[in-house]
Structure 1
Amino acid sequence: MTPGEIRLPEGRLETGWWGPGPEAAPTLVLLHEGLGSLGLWRDFPARLAAATGCGVFAWSRFGYGGSDPVTLPRPFDYLRIEAQQVLPRVLDAIGLRRGILVGHSDGGSIAAIHAGTVPDGRMRGIVVMAPHFFTEPMGLAGVAATARRYEAGELRDRLARHHRHVDVAFRGWSDTWLHSGFPAFFDLRPDIAGIRLPVLAIQGVDDAYGTEEQLRVLEREAAGAVEVMLLPDVGHAPHAEAPTVVLEAVRGFAMRTFGPAAPG
């Protein structure tokens, strides 16, 4: 990884780059989950760059990893703010030319909002892994269970190794999702109806935060082609739990999307 940073008016973002730059190859842009960070992608970016021949770029969003914190509570529309206001400036800062957004969980939701609502001719497709488009009782129960683990201490200790402002990272996620007003507010179906790019949607059958209906609504609502992959015996992190399958799927999607001129 080549470490770096981006400075926006809101503060500093920590970044990482693997493989060729945007002038030499297409770029896969990684968007982490609601408790993720640059470092929590672990070896996935390096393996993705090797598998596809593309450059891979990732960063910690504000409030996560080594990036600057945010003020809590987060607004209910925090995912739209990331997709429509922050992400376009990050893509400009890295000089993106041709790209695919690859988002996990909250990051998948951000990728879908961006594809459905932000005109950007540089984007050629999106990959979403375990995305959220509306709340489900079982998913909210999963968030509540994770919050209890955090209060018990062990999860906080583990996350503190990856987040400079660990309580900001966790509370910004859990307090938003568990707010009594959030379920009525959170509905991304109008956003995803505008997606005209090809989509690869991946989810584990045993995901504790959402059912396959999250992908089925994307399949029904998006204007573009949606390829759905449901992985048995896999939970909320397909790229970590079934890396070989996911890497091959993303490699094939990238080759189909960028065409024969794509490296790798």
Structure 2
Amino acid sequence: MGWLAGRANEYVYGEDGRKLSQLDWEIKNTPIIKGSISWDVSAWLTFEANGWMTLGPRNSTMNDFDWENPKQTHWTRWSYSPKTPLNYANEFNINSYIWLLKNNSFKVAGVIGYQQAQFHWTTIGGYYDYRRQCINEGGNNCQAAEGNFPLTPGIDYKQEFSVPYIGSKIQYKYNNWEFNTLLKYSPWVLAKDHDEHYRRQLSFREKTHNSEYYSVSANIAYYMTPQLKFFSEGIWNKYTQGRGAAQMTNNENRSSLYLGGDVAGIENKSYQITLGIAYQF
């Protein structure tokens, strides 16, 4: 059992590389359930499979910023959706530990693995402020450029990550206590997203290659018996921003437009804290 928090970022860029839009999707203290199984194939090789999933939707928030005036560094349009449930998130991971150093109290392993993760949100209603854009365009009634969206789904957003990775693990035991640290790294991240704008009747699909992934986890455990231990674990994950092309579809007339180059950006950072028990057969 644990908790998940963090933020995903979605970016749109112009052909000149200037940032046009940024959407910040929050993850707020979402309960998760986690499971893991490992198998010691030999004294020097261990296989492991683990994963986690959210325990139902959890309310979060979304901020949407636009920069439509190239001469202005401050955003020109902003909207905020305080009712943005994280519908689900999950991760599945498989890896192998190759033990390079091993004695009664201290172990060091090289790690090779692969994992997939996904996150999905939907905004409901919200508030918008387009007054700066109105003023820049010389509008006469810019107070009307501020208001509330109807309490219906506005934007649906999903991120997916596929990651082969390498890393290292260190384990230290002292009496009934055990301490573990796991470091993971990858320069081969494949990231995808799907952005559905219901009010504008537009769909966007983006894909990026070869962004980076970093992960640090620390685990402390206490053995109640030689087979049973209680543990607490903290994990930090970061998928750096990947840039790539986008496919835009008009859902009213089904027309489609391919936007090449680095017009889209995908980024994600999250934290986990978990408590649990483990049993060794």
TM-score category (smaller protein): under 0.3
TM-score normalised to the size of structure 1?
A: 0.27
TM-score normalised to the size of structure 2?
A: 0.25
Which has the larger share of helix?
A: 1
Query: Highest CA radius of gyration, 1 or 2?
Result: 2
Which has the larger share of strand?
A: 2
Higher RCO, Cα 8 Å, sep 6+: 1
